A and B are shown apart, each in its own frame.
Chain A
Amino acid sequence: VNPRLEPPRLARRLLARSLPDDARDDVDGDLLEVYARHCAHHGVTRARLWYCTQAVSFSARFLAERLRQRDVSVERIDVNPLRCRAMPSSLDVRLAARMLVKYPGLSVVSVTGMAVAIAIGTVVFSILAALLETKVPLPDGQRLVALSNAIATKPGTNESSLLDFETWRGRLGSFQDVAAFTTVQRNLLIPETPVELVRVVRMTASGFGIARTSPLMGRPLLDEDDRSNARVLVIGYDEWQYRFAADPAVVGRFVRLGNEDYTVVGVMPKGFRFPVDDGYWLPLAFEPAERERSAAIPVTIVGRLAEGATIQSAEAEMATVGARMAAEYPATHEGLRPQVRWYTRAFFDIENPGTVPEAQYFLLFISLLLVVVAVNVAILVYARTATRAGEIAVRTALGATRARVVTQLFVEALALCVAAALMGLAIAGLTLHTLQAIAERQLGELPFWVDLALSPAVVAYALALAVVGAVIVGVLPALKATGRRVQQRLQQLSGHGAQMQLGRAWTGLIIAQVAVAVAVLPFALHFTEEAVGEAVADVGYPAAEFLEASLTMERLGARCPRIGFCDQFSGDTIVVPDRALEQHFRDRAAELIRRIESEPAVAGLSIRIRGAERVEIEGIPLGGADRRISVGTKPVDRVGASFFALYAMPVLAGRSFVAGDARSGATAVIVNQLFAERHLDGGALGRRLRFLRESKIAGEVDAGPWLEVVGVVRDFEEHSYEPSGRLYLPTDVAQLAPPIGLAIRMRAHPAATVMPRVRELVTIVDPRLQLDGLNTAADRHRQNRRLSRYLGVGTAIAMLSVLLLSAAGIYAMMAFTVARRRREIGIRSALGADAQRVLRSVFARASAQVSAGIVLGLLGTVALDRLTGRGPINDGNLTALLLVAVVMMTVGVIAAIGPARRGLAVQPTEALRAD
């Protein structure tokens, strides 16, 4: 039988599980018969689809039938279903589902509110779990640790060198093996494919032993490779698939990295990205004889704990070796304390023993958010339960135990909370997916063990939150509603639950809820406004025509290419400045710039290096506590002479840069309009300023030479929520050290089509030149905007749920008041009170509580604003404050209208009939 012609296996399995034993075979046979008919008439695809729908339909029908029969049998056994045991039955579940539908308003508000709280808790849980994880997803991965030296004089910093690796590897019994690695960047040149800048890890062969993973093809790195500094390369599965087109003969192929040739000797299996997120492995060559040199080569050291060894025992053993090292190499090893940390935690620099409990407290604090929301929902549910007091009293009278009634109310609450948990998980799943994508894009990579997804642990946590929520939402109101006074209530059954009270605690809660909403909402609104402003802001120049990149060279890049292990420098970092190499870089960079500029598609090119400096303006006294702050730290861009012309930025006053401005000793500086307005209001041109830097002598500052403002330019590329004064300094490639920022403007061509040509030019000029982060400016802005948009939407959802809960609280309070005062309203109407007066009395309590909440909330906003120094009042955004007060009042009125109308509709005869 052709398996493709058979019905979907999953659907058949579903059917097999859900059909009763005695009906399984014949129903299956009938469905197969009709399925064959469908295949012949409508084709296999439609027939398979039909079969799936039938499988679902049959499962649901037979399940419902089974539940119905069980209920019938329960009714037959126990004459009074209310008296049966406290364990929840399918009846409870069905009743709970019915309650969800019967009170749609309450369900929507409660589920939304709790879903947002559960989503926030789940997202935080996932992130913390990823950060605190100690197990690496490798065979026996829970024993991987990072070895380093903590520097006594600089708490919180670690270092480790190749010398440490060589020393530790031979002498420590606590580790099965130890490996060292360091990361560099190289241009990957494969014939007939575009050149690409890739991250390459130089790792000792022992790294593959520690990872306990065999290659898919060829061999891993070997100890001989380390010793002989062999030009061999091991590649990852994805790299093999995409860069080498899954070439089956890839082992033995030559590959060029920078200006060196390597032979591919192995391909690692799918998913293997050790040590961080790597796909190219080179040997880490070292010369054991060169002790002094290897002490200066920074590496990350990873080890596998031996059986029976613990972090503590390993640290103790390392301490004795450390003491010997300090005596042997006092210049480099004095004041160092060997340290062992979980490999994964070392990556995120979580070393402080207090960090883990702190993270757990934080998680607890976030989980408390759900408790706050759940208490809120509990109040709403209590109000509903109050209207069912009569029903509860009757059931108690018929013999239902208190446990039985509480169980039923708990199941009802559980239905609410499970729905909220499912919705929360969906929101969290989406958020985590987005976060992972953002993190990968913004940080360049994430370590291979971080997968922000809905793991079983995360789902379990969300469900646990749902159960906690259900206990608060269901059990607390149920215990209160089934208390000692049930008997009393039974006697007064005619009052339809009017005897349950919403006392002072309730009033206080409503006021507090409105106050919190009013205090927090202006901040949220302010933030959303900024985020939305950012998302739609015009950058002020044609960003699609610009390419941006950072130019550097092999062995000159000082930037750490990793987000973790950040106290380690790049393996390319030169310890002693290599003047000749730097000069070579400048020559090659100038040549590259010349070549790019002469491309027909390129309109122009300018250098732009972003930085920040502490600025002092002449004539403005230094302020602040230490008398060293003038106007604070401002962004300072070092740009080429053609920069303003390239971006078509009009010079509003004075002049632009000219060729001579960049020579050493020149003092020209240009400021943007905002800087001129904020700090140089007496006229910018001719004013002098200088930069202050921390001196080597503690407590002192070094002041640079005075610079003169020669021009004012228009603001551009400003953040709408953080507009800032900006300064421009002239520079020239002859003065710069890598990395150099380049901005290339295209002619009519779409910028993206020119990228391969620019990369090609780099390898023509010098394969060791590296163009990092080559992309269009429009793309950078788009990514920033997307982040702002997500933040805006997230805040808006949280804001909406706060508003919804407040509205629901007011509604419940009003509905309860009307229900309780039903008789009174009836009597007053009977005595001739006019409608408006009755309405006013109903509204009085609601408006008093809402007003009190708003006043308290506004006071809270002012206090928060003062405390944080960055809020709506501080930023002059008083409309947000006013808007929130008006919205809250409107929400209160709308929530109160329904119950008030019900109150007016009370017929005197009907209300008095109770007696």
Chain B
Amino acid sequence: MPHQGLGDFEQIVLLAILQLRGDVYGVPIVDEIERRTGRSVSRAAVYVTLRRLEQKRLISSKMYPATAGRGGRPRRCVRVEPRGLQALRESRTAVEQMWRGLTPRLEGLE
């Protein structure tokens, strides 16, 4: 089965997890994306994407017991798997290939 490329939003979510380092969960991921991109994102979209990334085995998750302020609910922490890192690298390479040689021309157009 050929490798499926990463979508834009999937890349952003993966990068946010990496930026936060270690075991992170949904709430800080959303905050991180909003802080870095400067725009609000749909929280539901982030969770659906996390689920999809896990199904593609690009990330893995682990449940941590409940803490105060969460109504006794556990926390699902995720970390990026080697496959995820590989996919990110490929995406970056593809994008860089596409950008190659364009920068001077774009600057000239401005």
Contacts and interface: CB of A to CB of B under 8 A. Distances in A.
Contacts of B94: none
A27 B45 CA distance: 12
A29 B75 contact: yes
A765 interface: no
B51 A65 contact: yes
A148 B44 CA distance: 67
A30 interface: yes
A33 B27 contact: yes
A879 interface: no
B63 interface: yes
Nearest to A34: B27
Contacts of B75: 26, 29-30
Interface stretch (B6-14, B66-74, B81-89, B96-104): B66-74
Contacts of A60: 44
A62 B48 contact: yes
B69 A33 contact: yes
Interface in B23-56: 25-27, 42-45, 47-48, 51-52
Interface string A29-62: 1111110100000000000000000100110111
Given A29-B74, A33-B27, A36-B69, A23 B51 contact: yes
A60 B48 CA distance: 11
Contacts of A57: 42-44
B70 A33 contact: yes
Select the residue from B42, B48, B70, B75 with max chain A CB neighbours within 10 A. B70
B46 to A, nearest CB: 10
A60 B25 CA distance: 22
Interface in A244-260: none
A54 B44 contact: yes
Contacts of A440: none
B4 to A, nearest CB: 12
A54 B51 contact: no
B73 A28 contact: yes
A261 to B, nearest CB: 61
Given A34-B27, A65-B51, A26 B44 contact: no
Which range holds the interface residue count of chain B? 20 to 34
Nearest to A62: B48
Which range holds the interface residue count of chain A? 10 to 19
A25 interface: yes
Nearest to A69: B55
Given A34-B27, A62-B48, A29 B42 contact: no
A36 B73 CA distance: 14
Given A34-B27, A54-B43, A57-B43, A26 B71 contact: no
A34 B30 CA distance: 11
A773 B42 CA distance: 59
B78 to A, nearest CB: 10
Contacts of B47: 23, 27, 30, 58, 61
A532 to B, nearest CB: 49
Contacts of A23: 47, 51, 76
A570 to B, nearest CB: 64
Contacts of A25: 73-74
Contacts of A30: 25-27, 47, 70, 73, 75
Interface in A576-628: none
A60 B70 CA distance: 23
Given A32-B73, A57-B44, A26 B51 contact: no
A26 B43 contact: no
A29 B48 contact: no
A23 B48 CA distance: 10
B66 to A, nearest CB: 7
B45 A29 contact: no
Contacts of A54: 43-44
B74 A26 contact: yes
Nearest to A61: B44
A23 B26 CA distance: 12
A34 B29 CA distance: 12
Contacts of A62: 44, 48
A266 B25 CA distance: 63
A60 B47 CA distance: 12
B9 to A, nearest CB: 12
Interface string A430-473: 00000000000000000000000000000000000000000000
24 contacts: A23-B51, A26-B25, A26-B26, A26-B63, A26-B73, A26-B76, A27-B47, A29-B72, A30-B26, A30-B27, A30-B47, A30-B73, A30-B75, A32-B70, A32-B71, A33-B69, A34-B43, A54-B43, A57-B42, A57-B43, A58-B44, A58-B47, A61-B44, A61-B45
Interface of A: 23, 25-34, 36, 54, 57-58, 60-62, 65
Ranked 5 nearest A-B pairs via Cβ: A29-B73, A26-B76, A29-B70, A61-B44, A58-B44
